[in-house]
Every structure is written in C-alpha cells, then in structure tokens.
Amino acid sequence: MTQSFRSASGGLVERGRTLKFRFAGREYEGYEGDTLASALLANGVRLAGRSFKYHRPRGLIAAGPEESNILVTVGQGGRRTTNLRATEVDLYDGMVAAPVNCWPSLRFDVGAVNNLFSRWLGAGFYYKTFMWPHWMLFEGFIRRAAGLGQPSTEADPDRYELAYAHCDVLVVGGGAAGLAAAKAAAAGGRRVILCDQDTRFGGSLLWCDAEVEGLRGRDWVDRTVAGLSTQPNVRLAPRTTAVGHYDYNSVVLLERVPGREGEARDGARERLWQVRAEQVIYACGALERPIVFPGNDKPGIMLASAARQYANRWGVRTGDRLVVFTNNDSAYDAALAAADAGARLIAVVDSRANVDAQRQKQITACGAELITGGAVIETHGDTVLKGVTVREGAGRTRRIACDGLLMAGGWNPTVHLYSQAGGKLRWEDARAFFRPDGVRDAIACVGACNGTLGLAAALQEGHEAAAFGRAGAPASPQTEEPAIEPLWRVDAPGKAFVDFLNDVTAGDIAQAARENFVSVEHLKRYTTLGMAPDQGKTSNVNALAVMGEATGRAPAQVGTTRYRPPFTPVSMASYRGRLRGDLYRPYRHTPMHAWHLAHGGKIEEFGEWQRPALYLQPGEDHEQAVRRECRAVRTACGLFDASPLGKIEVRGPDAARFVDLIYANTMSTLKPGKLRYGLMLNELGIIIDDGVAARLDEETFLVGTTSGGADKIAAGMEEWLQCEWIDLKVLVAPVTTDWAVINIAGPASPQVLAAVGCDFDPDPKRFEHLSFRTGAVGGIPARVMRVSFTGEASYEINVPADRALDLWERLYAAGKPFGIEPFGIDALMQMRTEKGFLHVGSDTDGTTVPADVGWTKVANRPVDFVGKRSLLWETNQDPSRPQLVGLSEAGGQVLAIGEHVRDPKGDKPTIGYVTSSGYSEALGRGVALAMIQGGRARIGEELVTTRSGQRVRIVEAAAYDPKGERLNG
C-alpha cells in the first residue's frame, strides 16, 4: 500500500514517473517532482524525526526551508550531507535518507529517555550544575548527546563555483509580486535577475486557488515565466536562495545545481553568486507561524499553509480526519484545500469570538464544526496524533479524535534580508506582524514580504517597485487580507513548544523572564531559542510575543533579535569555489624552476616563491647535500637562483633625496656605478627590509629588497610619494620579475664568467666588490653586481627573465671543469650565518631596531628619514635590548633555531634565543647567531640553553673569515 495519502489527481508531480526511495530503513515510492517531505507524507509517514534535546517524536511541520522538525542525512562517504531539511531535498530514484539524532532507530530511540527527565533539563539547566569537580567530567557526555547529524569524515569530492553577476534589478522571490516586478523591469529594458529558492517559480500561486489577469494562478505563472525566459535582458535563477545582503546592494545567492544529492555529478553541486544590483526588490513572501499550545509538537500537527501546499502542489493529504486551530482567516482556505484533497474536516477551532459569516458557511458546508473562542489545550497519541482536547469559548472542554491538526498563528513577512541591509522594522498591531518600515534607496520590499498579503495589492506593488524604481506603496490593511486576532500562547498545562528544533517551550520563556533574561537577545542565548538550523524562522516572533506577555510588554517593545546572514545554511565548500589544492593560491616560479626539478632540487616555499632548498644527488641525505654545496662555493664555484630578489627602479630628479628618506642610512652620496647595503625602517623605527641599492646614474637607483618584501616596499614607496612627499619628482617601477638573477659565487667564479664570455673584466681586483657593470654575459644583456651573501667573491647577474635559463645552463656547463655546483637556500643561509650576515625575518622580528643589529649611529643622522624619530625613544637606545651576536656551542654542536638561552648566574628564565644556526662545513662545527639582551657588551660570557642545558659562549657574529678577505677571490 504505497502512497496511500496521495490524491487521485492534481498537484505538480509527474505521476508517470515513480521513484523508489528508502527512509529510516524502509522502502517507499514517490513521484518525480516530490520533495522527500511530500513523498514521506504521501506514504503516510508521520513520525519522521526526533527533537534535539528531549528526542520527542516529530513529524513534518512545514513545506519549505522553515521546516524545523525533520532533518535528514543523505549520501555516503565524502558525499554524506547531514542536517538537510526534508523539505529541501528533491526526491530521486534510489535515494537513501535517514533521520538525524536518533539511535538505534527512529521508533526506538534511546535518547528519548531525556523526555522523562525533561523537567530537569529546561532552560539553562547546565549553568546551574556540573560545576563539581569540573565541567570536563560531564562535557564528553553532553557533546555526544548534542549535535544533530553525523557529518562525513572524508573529503568532499564535489565541485563548487564562485560566480559573479551584475544587473539593474535583482528580484528575490518569484511569486506573484516578484514575477510582476520582473516583468515590469524587463519591459523597461533593464537587466533583470529573478531568483527563487524553489525549483520552480510561482510562490503561493502554485498552491493557492487564485486568478490573475483572468487566468488560473498557475497558468499565469507559466505564461509569465515563459515570457521572461525569452527576453535577453532577463536571467531566471530557480533553486537559488538569496542568503546575504551586503553593502552597496551586493547580494549573495546560493544556487543549488540540479542533481541527485549525495551522488557523483559532472558539474558543480552549488554555486555561490555575488550579485551587484542597482535595485534589489525583495518579494520573498511571508512565513506562517505555529500556535503555542500544549502538545503542539506531535507528529500530525503542521502549519495550515503547509498542508495546503502538500494538498495542492503535491496532491498529498496530510491526514484523514483534520482539525484546524487558528486565530485568523487564512486557515479557512487551507482547511478547504485539505478537504478537497480527500481529508475529512472535523472541526475548525478559532480563538476569535467572532468569525466572518461567509467563513462559517464554508466550514459548515463541508460538514465540519466551527468552534469559536476556542483553543486546543492538549493533544493525544503516543508517537502520532490521535486526538485533541479543545476548550470551547464557554470553558467546556471536550476531546475530538483526529489524525491531523493544522495550526495557523498568523504570518511573518520574510524581512530577513531587508533587515540585513539595515532596513528598520515596524510592528503592526492590527495585523500582528513586523514589516519593513520606511523607504530605502534602491531596496524595495513588495507583496507579502512587505506585509501585503492580498494578491491584487501584491501584484501592484511588485509592478510599481520595478516600473518606477521605488519601494512599494505603504501597505495598509486591505479588505482582501485575512483578519487576525493574536493568540500568542494557550494558557494550559503541558509543554507548549515555541522553538521545535531546539525544544524550547513557553515554560522555558517564562522561566527566563523570572530569571531576568528578558532582553530578546538574552532570551535567545539563555534558552537557545531561534539558534537551531531553522534559525528561528517559525519561532522568533512567537517567542518575543510570549516574552512580552510574561513581562507586560508589547511585541514592538520587546523587539526582534538581529537577522544575520545567511538566510538559510550555506555549505562551507561553496565559499571556496574552485579554489582547491594547487589552485588555492598561485605558485610563484622562477625561470629556472624546471631545471631545478630536473637536477634534484628540493622545492620549498620561501617568501611566496617556490625555490630549491638544496639539490639532492643520488645517495645523499639533506645534510650531506648542503655540506657539499657549501664546500663547492667555498672552494670552487656555486650557482644560485636569486631571481625572487626584489628589484625596484627609483628614478627622477629627486631620486637621491627620496632614497635618503626611505633608507636608515645615507644613499645620496653613492656614486653612479656603485652599490651600498642599506636598512629600511617603518615609522616605528623597526627594520622592515634590507638590501643593496645601486646607483645606475645620477637620477636612477635600483633598490634591492628581500624576496618577500619586494611588493610591500614598492607599495610603501608609492604611498610615501603620493601621500607625503608629493613635491618629490620621482617615479617608482617595480621590476622584480622583469629581471631574473643568477648568482655565481666562489673563488672560481671569475674564471667561469670569463669562460662564458663577458664584455667587461670580471677580475674581482678590478671589478670591485659593491660596484656594478652593465654589459653582456654570454652575449646576453646584463646588469652585473658585485655583492655577496656568502662571503665569497660573488656576482649577481641580472638578465631579462626570458634569457635567464639559457645563461644559467651555459654558466653551469662552463663551470663544470671548475667544479661548479648549483646551491640552494639552505647552503646560502648556512654560509651567510657563518659570515654573521643579517637575514631580515630570521634574525629580526617586528621589534628589531637598527641598534639591535649593530647600527647604532643612524639615529644620529642629521636628516630626517622614515622611522628616525622613533629611534630617539629612550627604549630604543637601551643597552639591555636584545642584540645580534654569535653563539658558539661548547662542544661544537649545532643549536636549534628558536632555542632560548639564560645566564646561569642570573635569575631571568631567558635572556635571548638562537635566530640562525647550522653546521659550518668550512669550520667543522656548529655556528649560530642569536639575539641576546645586552649581548654585544657580553661577548666572551658563557650561557646555557634553557631546555637542553647546553653550554654556549657569546662570540662575534662573523665566525668565518671575519675580516672579509675572501670577497676578492
């Protein structure tokens, strides 16, 4: 007996296409066009889930994204998705779905024991206990009991996309008002995007019996959508939910691409759109409120509008014997629709004393009873609804047998996105809802979203907002709107749920009020109301009204909590889009990258560049390779790819003045053709970069920076020139990647240069250290600089990037007879460490000033420069500051970088730490640099490392060739 609750005809399902699916271990059938929710109801499945805290039996309460009872898990392995609302899962053949948060089964759920103890598990019970001996003893149990679904533990293999769009008008919601708006905007020639969270457009016209422009509502929708779809200036976006409104009408949309949830697919699973619109029209409708009465969470009880949707859209009857409980007129149409779908309408319980005569007639015509001034005060049935107890207006109570109860507590305009956009809300007493207040430029709310529940007025608002580019006319109650008298809470004993998913009751709210959690935000946080995956869509307004009653305040005085994005939950992966793995962040490669790989280069990321740390030869380990490379440079010749070094050309009549301002030391006295090492500071006097500057000519400097600093320093120069020293005539051109840099270093390097041929004399005696030549090396135009970070005779050959690999290979070939070896970052760092050369970022941190690294005199420079005034602070001249010195381990061991040291005679736990360290092949022992408090005055003193207790001595920074005699070969 499948689909026994499906009507014989009607609805927007394809009855010719039967789909088999499994839910909670049982097999069912549905039709194409069903959601999991509608298919479950078609099969008469009432008990479909368990609640969060008390594990109470629950059934479907809604038909849309506001569903707050039935969450399911679909898919396996990496495609397992949990906490999906059954109402948002499109049914497909072979789907397997399971309810969350019940064990071992939906029917027999061990967690339901909580319901027995529920009197002790009310609002905030955990704040009052579990303190002894400590929370951690209890936390594990609580954590395992909490949570809802079990997520995947495997990587999600699906694809996601980030997408961008611009339009003149974004219409959110494709119901009557939204379609009218889109139509008018399109007719005006504007670029329109119309989105709707549903799989098809139409909104309530899909399930209300309405007539528009002489057509049945559904037919009008089809005609309108067909018309829009042919217009080139319109983009239709079904299955697309607006989830966030950000500044300047930037709206984020989540598109759920059609496909079988939980199964592999070709394209993206979801697409996250960022849309910038000149005008945004919110036409996202309204959500119906439940009524707060004892036992209102029993499976079989649902929103009246949901029952109407199931009946008309899916041809599903939500019960055989229905009772309706309402405080407003809108439930009557729902009741009639349910009756049309084959249910027997038993009674309508209306909390109002007076009900429109026409309505009365309709009800009695179905053979049902109308109970005015009444209320449902109790519900019956174990796991599903079997009956209700009704209190009549006169106070008499009686029991009515039924298997379905439709509740209609009034409507809440979907103001979430308008509110996110900063829009204010206004409470309307007569209509008992918050609606958008005031007119905002370029944002309009129309139709039910604006509180306009009548169809004709909604259509007009939509049309006008788009046609005239303004907000809808202020909505006032209209005759076609359902009359309402608020009923916020039925006063009767028993658990009356306000937030179904988080199990928050009216009693919890009353307790919160007693305990002074009367602010709506405190209420939310104390009781967890509105914080469940449904984000309070059905509970917030009821809750604040119940709180208002408890504290003698009107809903307007209580106010709402902040509406925060996203409107509905958004998968994390959709934020990532295609940025994944290798694509997450670009790699920066030098022109010689492939060569490095082919020659055993072990690539690591240094300062955003992929660079060889070392070149491994067969049979070597890392340390052996680094030692071999050092040996080659110190005794013969080495080749180093220095391309990432920052290069900035600074040119103009005032270039010399400018470099004097940005360096801590004087650069203007540099002669053309010469180089000088310099430090750059920020305004706090902190060292931010270092490097060698070359004066190419009177008006041009080539400023060298560290690899990692290249972009920041160039940007910083621009800022100084454009914002501070605006009179200086200087141009700054970052040229880092225009020039590749090959560093050839070691005593044999002049011969290798001579062997490949260069049109200048490479002899280090005549081509002096810290000077440069422009010329050709191996026939390739080059700027060659005599600088050295290894301490050996060294040439930095700058060549156009596209010629670099050619030159590199020729140098390597020419160097072979001389014993040339390529060397990586590790060998370079090792050699500069034994030379005591500073490496910014290793030996310095964000607190290091020039005096700390031995530059004590720059503070006395007579001219101003960036950071100078800060160097005059007493604290920056304090001799006890950390200072860069060498450290020598007593047994010649290598110290770990980051190791701290202390003075065995002092009481400080640490007085400094190792900044650079390694094994010196040349010296046959470990060498290290360190930042030691007052270190320079303490050279010769002995310290110990804090953890390993190694004895170390403070020494001069330069351990190898301290006089620098090797620079000239």
Partner 1 sequence: MAGYPARATVKEYSAFRLLVEGLRGHTGWKPTWRAVEPKPRYDVVIIGGGGHGLATAYYLAKNHGVRNVAVLERGWIGQGNTGRNTTVIRSNYYYPESIALFDMSVKLYEGLSRELNYNVMFSPRGMVIAGHSRHDMELMNRWAGAMQAYGVDVGLISADEVKRRVPALDTKNKRWPVWGGFTQGRAGTARHDAVVWGYAHAADRLGVDIIQNCEVTDFRKASNGHVVGVETSKGVITADKVVISVAGSSSLLAERAGFRLPITSYALQAFVSEPVKPVLDVVSWSLATGIYVSQSDKGGLVFGGPLDLYNSYAQRGNFPTAIHAVGALAEQYPSFGRVRILRQWAGLVDVVHDSSPILDETPVPGLYINCGWGTGGFKAIPAGGWVMAHHIATGKPHDIGKPFNRKRFENGRLIDEAAGAGIAH
Partner 2 sequence: MLLIKCPFCGERDEIEFRCGGESHIQRPASDVSDETWGAYLFARENPRGVHFERWVHHAGCRQWFNLARDTVTHEIRSVYPITAPRRGPSQ
Residues lying near partner 2 in the complex (CB under 8 A) are found at: 246-248, 250, 274, 276, 422, 683-684, 715, 718-719, 722-724, 726, 864, 868-870, 872-873
- Residue of the chain from 203, 447, 533, 612 that contacts partner 1 (CB under 8 A): 533
Which of 17, 26, 119, 765 is close enough to bind partner 1 by CB under 8 A? 119
Q: Rounded to whole angstroms, how far apart are CA atoms 347 and 321?
A: 9
Q: Closest approach of Cβ 423 to partner 1, in Å?
A: 13
Q: Provide, rounded to whole angstroms, the least separation between the CB of residue 577 and partner 1.
A: 7
**8 Å CB contact between 55 and 112:** yes
Nearest to 731, CA basis, from 647, 649, 646: 649
**Helices (H), ranges, 720-835:** 749-756, 804-815, 825-835
For partner 2, the closer of residues 107 and 857 by Cβ is 857
DSSP letters spanning 189-248: T--EEEE-SSSSS-GGGGTS--EETTEEHHHHHHHHHHHHHT-TTEEEETTEEEEEEETT
- We find the least distance from the C-beta atom of residue 444 to partner 1, in angstroms, to be 21
Task: Report the residue from 9, 104, 108, 120 that binds partner 1 according to the rule CB under 8 A.
Answer: 120
Instruction: Work out whether 719 is an interface residue with partner 1 (CB under 8 A).
Output: no
Binds 114: which of partner 1, partner 2, none (CB < 5-8 Å by kind): none
| Chosen from partner 2, partner 1, none, partner binding at 156 (C-beta under 5 to 8 Å by type) | partner 1
The DSSP code for 862 is: S
187 vs 684, beta carbon nearer partner 1 = 684
> Binding of partner 1 at residue 516 (CB under 8 A)?
yes
Q: Which residues contact 661 (CB under 8 A, 6 or more apart)?
A: 720, 725, 864, 865, 866
- Is 128 or 905 the residue whose CB approaches partner 1 more closely? 128
The answer to whether 526 contacts partner 1 (rule: CB under 8 A) is yes
Q: Which of 16, 108, 144, 395 binds partner 1 (CB under 8 A)?
A: 144
Nearest to partner 1 of 44, 882 (CB atom): 882
- Contact pattern for partner 1 over residues 617 through 656, marking x by CB under 8 A: ----------------------------------------
CB of 417 to partner 2, least distance (A): 15
> Could you say whether residue 571 binds partner 1 (CB under 8 A)?
yes
Q: Which residue lies nearer to partner 2 by CB, 194 or 714?
A: 714
The length of the chain is 969
Q: How far, in Å, CA of 517 to CA of 499, rounded?
A: 17
> Is 909 one of the binding residues for partner 1 (CB under 8 A)?
yes
User: Alpha-carbon distance 441 to 679, whole Å?
Assistant: 52
Of 16, 143, 479, 766, the one binding partner 1 by CB under 8 A = 143
In whole angstroms, what is the distance from residue 32 CA to residue 91 CA? 7
- Nearer residue to partner 1 within complex by CB, 122 or 393: 122
Is residue 893 within the footprint of partner 1 (CB under 8 A)?
Answer: no
**Pick from partner 1, partner 2, none: which does 698 bind, CB < 5 to 8 A by kind?**
none
393 binds, among partner 1, partner 2, none (CB under 5 to 8 A by kind): none
Q: What's the closest the beta carbon of residue 637 comes to partner 1, in angstroms?
A: 27
Residue 686 interaction partner, one of partner 2, partner 1, none, beta carbon < 5-8 Å per kind: partner 1
Separation CA 37–CA 68 (nearest Å):
12
Stretch that binds partner 1, among 388-396, 618-626, 868-876, 958-966 (CB under 8 A): 868-876
Element housing 784 (H / E): strand 780-785
The first and second tokens of residue 251, run together, are 């709206």
Residue 521 engages partner 1 in binding (rule: CB under 8 A): yes
| Count of beta carbons in the 10 Å neighbourhood of residue 164 | 9
Nearer to partner 1, 483 or 570 (CB): 570
Q: How near is the Cβ of 851 to partner 2 at its closest, in Å?
A: 16
H helix or E strand, kind and range, residue 845 = none
* Ramachandran class of 503: left when φ > 0, alpha when ψ lies in -120 to 50, beta otherwise: left
Q: Which is nearer to partner 1, 85 or 835 (CB)?
A: 85
Residue 900 binds to partner 1 (criterion: CB under 8 A): yes
Contact yes or no for 854/837 (Cβ under 8 A): no
> Which position among 83, 360, 666, 856 is part of the footprint of partner 1 (CB under 8 A)?
83
211 vs 864, which CB is nearer to partner 2? 864
715 binds, among partner 1, partner 2, none (CB under 5 to 8 A by kind): partner 2
Among 522, 657, 769, 861, indicate the residue that binds partner 1 (CB under 8 A): 522
What is the identity of the amino acid at 487? L
Q: Which of 175, 225, 167, 165 is nearest to 192 (CA)?
A: 167
Q: What is the closest distance, in whole angstroms, from the C-beta atom of residue 714 to partner 2 in the complex?
A: 9
Residue 618's contacts (CB-CB under 8 Å, 6 or more residues apart) are: none
By CB under 8 A, the count of residues binding partner 1 is 109
Nearer to partner 2, 494 or 577 (CB): 577
CA distances from 628 to 368, 614, 747, 969 (A): 97, 10, 16, 20
Say how many C-beta atoms besides its own lie within 10 A of residue 506's C-beta.
26
CA 64 to chain centre: 25
**According to CB under 8 A, which one of 215, 473, 573, 770 is a site residue for partner 1?**
573
CB of 164 to partner 2, least distance (A): 9
Per DSSP, 560 falls in state: P
Q: How far is the CB of 863 from partner 2 (least distance, A)?
A: 9
Q: Which stretch binds partner 1 (CB under 8 A): 28-36, 313-321, 671-679, 838-846?
A: 838-846
Q: Which does 265 bind (CB under 5 to 8 A by kind): partner 2, partner 1, none?
A: none
Structure tokens of 143?
Answer: 């954590």
Choose the one of partner 2, partner 1, none that binds residue 612, judging by a C-beta under 5 to 8 angstroms depending on kind: none
Taking the least distance from each CB to partner 1, the nearer of 256 and 313 is: 256
**Coil, helix or strand at residue 49:** strand
Closer by beta carbon to partner 2, 579 or else 872 = 872
For the CB of residue 732, give the shortest distance to partner 1 in the complex, in Å.
24
559 torsion bin: left (phi>0), alpha (psi -120 to 50), beta (else): left
Least distance to partner 1 from the beta carbon of 418, Å? 14
Q: Residues with Cβ < 8 Å from 923, sequence gap 6 or more?
A: 834, 959, 960
Q: Which of 113, 116, 401, 579 binds partner 1 (CB under 8 A)?
A: 579
Closest among 877, 747, 919, 742 to 818, alpha carbons compared? 747
Q: Distances from the Cα of 683 to the Cαs of 163, 567, 590, in angstroms?
A: 41, 45, 33
Please check whether residue 827 is in contact with residue 634, taking contact to mean a CB–CB distance below 8 angstroms: no
Stretch that binds partner 1, among 123-131, 193-201, 303-311, 951-959 (CB under 8 A): 123-131
Footprint of partner 1 on 401-430 (CB under 8 A): 420
Q: Is the bond preceding residue 477 a cis peptide, omega within 30 degrees?
A: no
Best CA proximity match to 418, nearest among 540, 282, 537, 541: 282
Q: In what order do the strands lie in the sheet with 344-350?
A: 301-303, 404-408, 321-326, 344-350, 369-372
For residue 511, give the amino acid letter.
Q
Phi, then psi, of 592 in degrees rounded to 5: -95, 10
Written as one letter, the residue type at 512 is A
Contact between 775 and 758 under an 8 Å Cβ cutoff? The reply is yes
In whole angstroms, how close is the CB of 968 to partner 2 at the nearest point?
39
d(CA 967, CA 791): 6
Of the candidate residues 26, 107, 166, 564, the single one contacting partner 1 (CB under 8 A): 564
C-beta atoms surrounding 645 within 10 Å: 24
Minimum Å distance from CB 573 to partner 1? Answer: 3
State the minimum distance, in angstroms, from the CB of residue 648 to partner 1.
24
* 875 touches partner 1 (CB under 8 A): yes
Distance of CA 122 to the CA centre of its chain: 33
**Measured distance CA(145)–CA(125) in Å, rounded:** 15
